[in-house]
Amino acid sequence: MALTNEIIQKRLSEKFPEQLSGFEEPYGMLTFQAPKELNLKVLNFLYDDEELKFRFMTDLCGVHYPNRKGEELAVVYHLHNLEDNVRIRFKVFTDINQPDIYTATGLFSAANWMERETYDFYGVNFVGHPKLKRILNVDEMDYFPMRKEFPLEDQSRIDKDDEMFGR
């Protein structure tokens, strides 16, 4: 029997009743979210379950939602079941003031550098990571460049003519 989004959602709902939310299928990819404290339990279940078998992490990234109070930062996991060729997206949200999320490096070795990149650009602290330090930016950088905390351009500039840019 082919693995479908309905089967995946049913198995997840049986294992984590009332703890997972936001089930949707944009472009046919099952997407859902869980509390950040459950990220490893959900990932382990998706990996170990003999019916689901999501044993390949395609991507892990961060997203900044400045208008979501208490959930400003998200970590998004893209997982792949290679046997049935099924992909899913799993999200966890965290407060920007305490951006602690458990590391997935014990389960997926590919998570190592992806978590370092997410830390480097968004400031998500992956608890238990073997070597969580900046990977692309300089160590002296005291901010996280992908957060939407700074204006895109200096509004006080007088050296450019906005009419030239259609503004």
pLDDT in tens, 143-166: 899 998 876 666 676 676 666 666
CB-based burial, 53-72: b 16+ in 10 Å, e otherwise: bbeebeebebebeeeeeebb
Give the predicted TM-score (pTM) of the model. Answer: 0.88
The ranges assigned to domains in the chain are 5-150
Beta bridge partners of 94: 73
- Helix then strand count (H, E) for the chain reads 3, 7
Instruction: Give residue for tokens 């082919």.
Output: 2
Is 60 exceeded by the pLDDT of residue 167? Answer: no
CATH T-level topology, domain 5-150:
Beta Polymerase; domain 2 (3.30.460)
Please return the burial class of 159, using the count of CB atoms within 10 Å of its CB with bins 0-12, 13-18 and 19+. Answer: exposed
Contact indicator for 23, 9 with CB cutoff of 8 Å: yes
Residue 25: pLDDT over 80: yes
Percent of the chain with pLDDT over 90: 84
Residue by residue, what is the 3-state secondary structure of 39-92?
Answer: HHHHHHHHHHCCCCCCCEEEEEEEEECCCCCCCCEEEEEEEEECCCCEEEEEEE
pLDDT in tens, 52-73: 999 999 999 999 999 999 999 9
